[in-house]
Amino acid sequence: MTATSLARACALAAAFTLSLASGAAAGEYNLTVDRVTLDTGDFTRSAIGYNGSTTPTVLRFKEGEEVTINVTNNLDEDTSVHWHGLILPYQQDGVPGMSFDGIKPGETFTYRFPIVQSGTYWFHSHSGFQEPDGAYGAIVIEPEGREPFRFDREYVVQLADAHPHSGHRIMRNLKLMPDYYNRQQRTLLDFLSDSRDRGLAAALDDRGAWGDMRMMPTDVEDLQGFTPLINGKGPRQNWTGLFEPGERIRLRFINSSAMTYFDIRIPGLEMTVVQADGNNVQPVPVDEFRIAVAETYDVIVRPTEDRAYTIFAESMGRTAFARGTLAPREGMEAEVPDLREPPLLTMADMGMAHGDHGSMDHGAMAEGAMDHRSMGHGAGQPTHTMPDGSVMQGMNHGTMDHGTMNHSAMGHGSMSQDAMQMAATDPFYAPGSGLTPQAADGGKFLSYADLKAQKPLYEHRDATREIELRLTGNMERYIWSINGVKYADAEPIRLQYGERVRFKFVNETMMTHPMHLHGMWSILDVGQGKWNPVKHVVSVSPGTTVFMETEVDAPGVWAFHCHLSYHMDAGMFRKVIVEGGPAGKSADLPATPRQSIGG
Amino acid sequence: MRRHIFIAAALAPVLVWTGPATAEPMIYGLQVEQAERRFDDGSDLYAWDFDALAGTDELKLVWRSEAEYLTQSSRFETLENQLRLQMPISTFFDAAVGVRLDTPAGEDRAYGVIGVKGLAPQWFELDADLYVGETSFLRVEAEYEGLITNRIILTPSLELDTPLGDDEALGVGAFAPTLEVGARLSYDLLDRAVAPYIGVHYERRFGETADLARAEGEQRDNLYFVVGTKMLF
C-alpha cells in the first residue's frame, strides 16, 4: 500500500466514522439577516431580507439530514429565526424569550437540529415586526422515500402582503384608530344603494343592527393598502415560472403574509391539492382554494397548451391581488381577472352558529343582514341552531366524498339550484357567513372538509382531555386575546408529555384567526378519524367552533398564537409548557420562564 | 403653586408604573380633532382641540388642549390644558381623572376632572366630564363621523358646557349652558394623518350666561365658517 492510498484510506475511515457519529448526512447553511430596499412596483421602502435579497431565500433540506444553520444578524436590533412547522428541540425553535435569548446585532447564532419530516414549510423572524417587514423565506424538504405523486418540475410560490408602512407604525396606527387601514367601510352611498335595492326600512335596520354592536360588516381585513407579492415581486413585476406543455408542475404555495388570506386560482388550469402544511393529503382536484396566513399548500397543475396562465391570488377582503404567471417562455402574459366584489360579514359571523342570541336583533337579520341565498340548509356540522332558534339536522360531510365529486366536469349550466347551494356551503364557515368562499368560475373550492391525510402520522386514539380556547378581542381597542385574557396577563397552558389534547377553538370575534402551535402537530378534526389532516396552522372562521388534536410529544416551552402579526402582538398568544417526558427527552425547563415574545 | 401640586398628583402613578412585560407596543400619538380658523365678520379666531397621549392598553396619560385665539385683539379667549389619566372601564368606555388649568386672558382657573369617554351605540363618540373647581362645570361632547365616501367624511359635533354655579368673573350663570354645534366636511388627504376640512361652527349662550355676555357687549350667539385640518400621528 502506497503512502497516498494509505492516507486516502485513513481519510475515508475518518469520514465514515464522522458520518456514523452524526447518524446522518449533515448539511451546513448560512443565512444573513440584512437591511434591504424593497421595490414592489407600487412603492419602494426599506425592508428586511435574508442573504441581502428581497427575493425570498429557499432552504432545501433532505429528510434525515442533520442541519447546521448559521444565522448572522446584520441588523442594528435583535433578530431570531423561527422554523415554521418544523418538529425540532424547543431550544432550536427560535422564539426569543421562550426558546432562546434571540440573536444580537452582529452575532452569528448556530441552529442545529435533525430534519424529521418532509414537505413545504417556511421560516421567519419572531422578533418584533420583522416578519411583516420582509424577514421570511421558504423551506423545501425532500422526503427520504419517494413522493406518492409525480411531477416534472416545481416552484415555490411564496405570497406576502408588503405594506408601505413599517410594522411598528401599522401597529401604532391600529392602536390609535382600529379602522385606520379599513377603506372599505359602508358609506352614505352604500346606504343609498341598499335603500334602493332593499327598501329604506331594511337598510336602516341593517345599519342599526351593526351600529348597536359597534361592529362593521366590512371588517374582513384589518390591514389594507398593501401590495401582494409572489416570491418578492408585485403584480406589475409578474413573477414567472417556465414550463413545457404537458409537464406536471408542483407549486408550493406558502402564505407568508402578516395579515392577508388569499383565494388562489389559475384560470384555465385545474389544481390538484396534494399537500397541506407539509403533510401529504389524498389528492383533491379544485378550481380555487383559500390559503390562511402561514399555511402551505402544494398543488399539481398540468398545462397542456402552449400559452401563459395567470396565478391569481385575491385577498379575502378583495382589496388587492397577487399575480404571477406560468408560461412556456419568458415575457408571456395571460389575462389578469378583475377583483370580485368585497364580501360583507353577516350576523352569522357574529356567532349565531353557537346559539349566542343575546345581542342580536332578529328583525333586522331577517330583513337582509343575512344572506339567505348563501345559507345552504344542508350545511355544516351535525346540528345547527338556526336564526329562529330551532335546531336542524345537517348533513354529514364525513360521508360526502368531495374527492370523487368532479365539480369542474359538472355542467354548471344544468346544475340545479340545490346543487349550486351545496357547492356554496362549507362546514368550516358559519351557515350564512358572508365569508364562505365560492370558486370564481362556479367550480370546486377547496374546503378543510376535503382534506384527508395520505398516511396518518399517529395511531388514532381518543383525546385524554379537552382545552377550550375562545378567540376573543376588543376591536375598538385593538386588543386580541384568548378566553378574554391577553398574553401579558395570561398563565401558560401546561400540557403533560404523552397526552393527546383536544383543543376546542370558539371564534367569538368577527375576524378569521389562523392558529399556530409550535413544535407539535395540529391534527384538524374534519370528522375523518385517523384520516384527519395533519397541519401546523388551523384557521378558525368567525362564528365557528373548530377542533384540533395534538399528540403531546415534544417537551419544552412553545409558542401558540394567532399568526396574524398584529393580533399576535396585541395579545392573541399563549405560552405552552410541555412538562415531563421520558428520561433523556424531558426538557430542561427554566424555573421561571420569562413572559416575552421578544423583539 | 396649586397648579404644580395638581400636576405632581397626576404624574405620580406614571412615575412608579413599570413597562409592559411583552413586546406589546407603547401607545403614543397625537389626535387633532380641530385646528382651524373660524371666520366671522370682524371677530375671526384660531381654535384647536387635541389629545396627545402615551401609555398602554390599561393606562394612558393624555394631554388635552383646547383654545380659541382672537386674531384682532391677539389674545386667548379660552386656553384650557388638561392632564388626564385614562383607563378602560368597559368594552367601549374609558374613565379619566386629571387636572385642568385655564390660562386665557383674564382670570386663571384650576379644576379637578373626572369623566368618561368612549364609543356609544351607533358609533357616537361621547365625552362627558365633570370639572370641579371654584365654579364647577359639566361638559358633554358628542361627535359622529358620517362617511359619504371612504375618504370624504362629514363630522357633526355638539358640545354642551353647563356651569353648576354663578361666576361673574367667568361670565357664566348657574345651569345656563353654552352650546357649540358644528359640521365639518373633511377629506383624508394623507392616510388618516392629514384631513383638511371646511365647515360651520355655531356657538350660543343661554340664560344668565347669555345675559352676562350681552352686558359685556358680546353677542348671544356666533356663526362661523371654518377652515382647518384634522391630524393623527
Task: Please spell the DSSP secondary structure of A338-354, one letter per residue.
Answer: PPPPPP---GGGGTGGG
Q: For cell 406589475, what's the residue? A: A236
Strand-by-strand arrangement of the A479-482 sheet: A479-482, A465-474, A500-507, A545-551, A522-524, A534-535
Q: What is the pLDDT, as a whole number, of residue A424?
A: 60
Per the CB < 8 A criterion, the answer to whether A493 and A560 are in contact is: yes
* B168 pLDDT higher than 50: yes
Contact A479 B191 (CB under 8 A): no
A216: distance to nearest CA of chain B, Å? 10
Quickly tell me which residue has 357616537 as its cell.
B124
| pLDDT at residue A595, as a whole number | 45
In chain A, which residue's Cα lies nearest the Cα of B87?
A477
- How do B75-88 and B60-70 pair as beta strands? antiparallel
Which of A176, A480, A566, A592 is the best substitution to test chain B (most B C-beta atoms within 10 A)?
A176
Query: CB-based burial of residue A57 (10 Å sphere; 0-12 exposed, 13-18 middle, 19+ buried)?
Result: middle
**How many Cβ atoms sit within 10 Å of the Cβ of residue B138?**
16
ipTM of the complex model: 0.88
Closest Cα in chain A to B54:
A176
Q: pTM for the complete prediction?
A: 0.85
Is the pLDDT at A591 greater than 60, yes or no? Answer: no
- Locate the chain A residue with the closest alpha carbon to B148: A188
At A386, the pLDDT band (50, 70, 90 cuts) reads: very low
**Mean per-residue pLDDT of chain A:** 85
> For residue range B101-141, what is the model confidence (pLDDT) as tens digits?
999 988 899 999 999 999 999 999 999 999 999 999 999 99
Strand segments, DSSP code E, in A144-226 are 153-162
∠ Cα A162 B147 B95 (to 5°): 85
Question: Are the Cβ atoms of B21 and A488 closer than 8 angstroms?
Answer: yes
Residues of A in contact with B92 (CB under 8 A): 214, 476
pLDDT of residue A7: 52
For residue A16, pLDDT beyond 50? no
The DSSP 8-state label assigned to residue A460 in this structure reads -
Residues of B in contact with A569 (CB under 8 A): 23-25
Q: Round to whole Å and give the CA distance between B146 and A179.
A: 14
Chain B contact residues (CB < 8 Å to A): 20-25, 27-29, 31, 57, 88, 91-92, 119, 121-123, 146-151, 191-192, 232
Percent of chain A with pLDDT over 90: 75
Which chain B residue shows the shortest CA-CA distance from A165? B191
A172: closest CA of chain B, how far (Å): 6
Phi, psi of B209 (to 5 degrees): -60, -40
Chain A residues lying within 8 Å of B123, measured CB to CB: 211, 214
Q: Which residues of A552-582 are buried (b: 16+ CB within 10 A; e: fewer)?
A: bbbbbbbbbbbbbbbbbbbbbbbbbbbeebe
* Residue B10 confidence (pLDDT) above 60: no
- Find which of B24, B147, B188, B230 to mutate to test the A interface (most A CBs within 10 Å of its CB): B24
Nearest chain B residue (CA) to A182 = B150
Number of H helices, E strands in chain A: 7, 32
A567 phi and psi, to 5 degrees?
-70, -40
Q: pLDDT confidence of A441, banded at 50, 70, 90? A: confident
Q: Which of B30, B50, B57, B149 to mutate to test the interface with A (most CBs of A within 10 A)?
A: B57
- The residue ranking higher by pLDDT, B217 or A529, is A529
Contact across the interface for A214 and B88, Cβ inside 8 Å: no
B208 CA to chain A: closest CA distance, Å? 38
Per-residue model confidence (pLDDT) at position B9: 42
Name the residue among A189, A571, A598 with its Cβ closest to that of B149. Answer: A189
